[in-house]
Amino acid sequence: KTSSSSALGPDGLNIAQSFFKPIHNTTPPPPTTRNTKISVVGVGNVGMAIAQTILTQSLADELALVDVNPDKLRGEMLDLQHAAAFLPRTKISASVDFSSTVGSDLVIVTAGARQIVGESRLNLLQRNVSLFRKVVPPLAAASPECVLMVVSNPVDVLTYVAWKLSGFPSNRVVGSGTNLDSSRFRFLIADHLDLNAQDVQAYIVGEHGDSSVALWSSISVGGVPILSFLERQQIAYEKQTLEKIHKEVVEGAYEVIRLKGYTSWAIGYSAASLARAILRDQRSIHPVSVLAKGFYGIDGGEPFLSLPAQLGRSGVLGVTNVHLTEEEANKLRESAKTILELQTQLGI
């Protein structure tokens, strides 16, 4: 286990015991008082963006970082610890051992193999499944009551893999899914209307990928449904225009990767928003990857894909019954089939 030194000076002088005078006749903290612990597995660009956002938003009392590269791991831990004077107090530790995650309330998995040029999607998936076989069981054993959040891509299929390998009930395994896609969607609409994206309610559901579905029929701005507003005002709009916006959402990540080499900050904020909803029992609605069987006419197999779900302290509390047009429902079911085809080839 890696931690910063508590001893000062070349002779290991420890002044912690003499620096403070103890208060006499104290009582221990009440048994209901406990710290909130988050573990982040993988300290790449995405993992560190998530860790940094968690720290700045004061979402945990303890943050444990896990990675296979001990030097980078310790370097990242020290870099965060050196910012302690500017952040809410959080205990930060780092280890290559999964035992450091014991007692976590939330475990966020960002570790994953990168796609090699010319490599098939299925082969990449198989390599990630092999990685998850090493990672997920010890995490589940260390924190059997935690909520497990998967951020690694392809997130929908790997959330399914994590669910199978962990043995957790489906409500305690969630993927970051299209939460970020929906944020991009809301930004584009808000940017066009020149207003705050928080006033736009809009969902991208289905696969976090090319077969995702934009729920145009349920978009509202300040409580005003957009499509019915356009119809009432007799404002003409073309379906191609709507699809162009959706395409821009899907291609948004590719553009960021092309320009800077990877995505990090947006997914950091996205994951932190999910962590806040879960750990603070906010019961807010987010489009995240969940077990979709039985919802919106999805009956075959056990596909994981994004649906607007209510999140709280026990993970996924329920799936919102959003009205879908027949076309949207059909596209969602097609998205489920796309994911199922991959899941069935994994042998889990």
205-237 residue pLDDT tens: 999 887 888 898 888 888 877 777 766 766 666
- 44 is known to lie in a ligand binding site: yes
180 token code pair = 């970020």
Q: Give the number of other CB atoms < 10 A from CB of residue 118.
A: 6
- 45 is known to lie in a ligand binding site: yes
- What local confidence, expressed as pLDDT, does residue 71 receive? 96
- 316 is known to lie in a ligand binding site: no
Selected residue with higher pLDDT from 133 and 18: 133
Residue 122 pLDDT greater than 80, yes or no:
no
Backbone φ and ψ for 106, nearest 5 degrees, come out as -140, 130
- 152 is known to lie in a ligand binding site: yes
Say whether 284 sits in a helix, a strand or coil.
strand
Say whether 214 sits in a helix, a strand or coil.
strand
Q: Give all strands (DSSP E) within the chain, no chain letters.
A: 37-41, 62-66, 91-95, 106-109, 147-150, 173-175, 200-201, 204-205, 213-214, 220-221, 224-225, 284-291, 304-312, 315-319
- What local confidence, expressed as pLDDT, does residue 323 receive? 87
Q: What is d(CA 94, CA 47) in angstroms, rounded to the nearest whole number?
A: 13
Residues 6+ apart with CB under 8 A from 168: 140, 148
Question: What value does the CA radius of gyration of the chain take, rounded to a whole number of Å?
Answer: 22
Catalytic residues: 208
Average pLDDT over the chain, rounded to whole?
87
- What local confidence, expressed as pLDDT, does residue 189 receive? 84
Residue 194 pLDDT greater than 70, yes or no:
yes
Per-position b or e across 41-60, b if 16+ CB within 10 A of its CB:
bbbbbbbbbbbbbbbeeebb
Question: What share of residues in the chain are helix, strand, coil (percent, to 5)?
Answer: 45, 20, 40
- 42 is known to lie in a ligand binding site: yes
- 14 is known to lie in a ligand binding site: no
The residue type found at 300 is: G
Min mean pLDDT across 5-9, 220-224, 270-274 is at 5-9
Helix spans in 167-318 (H): 179-193, 226-232, 239-260, 265-279
Bridge partners (DSSP) of residue 173 are: 148
Q: How far is CA 174 from CA 149, 193, 248, in A?
A: 5, 32, 25
79-84 long-range contacts, CB within 8 A, separation 24+:
80/51, 80/52, 80/55, 81/4, 83/55
- 147 is known to lie in a ligand binding site: no
Q: How far is CA 31 from CA 28, 62, 319, in A?
A: 8, 18, 34
